Structure 1
Amino acid sequence: MHSVYQILAAILIGTSIGACLSKRDIVLMLGSLAGIALGVVALFLPSWPPLAVGAAVFLIAQTMQRDAKTRA
Structure 2
Amino acid sequence: MAHEQKNQTGPEDRPGSERADIARRVANFKAHQAKLQQERDEYYKSVRARIGRTLDGSQPTNVANTPE
- Same fold per superposition (TM over 0.5): no
The structure with the greater share of residues assigned to helix is: 1
TM (norm. structure 1) is: 0.38
Larger radius of gyration: 2
TM (norm. structure 2) is: 0.40
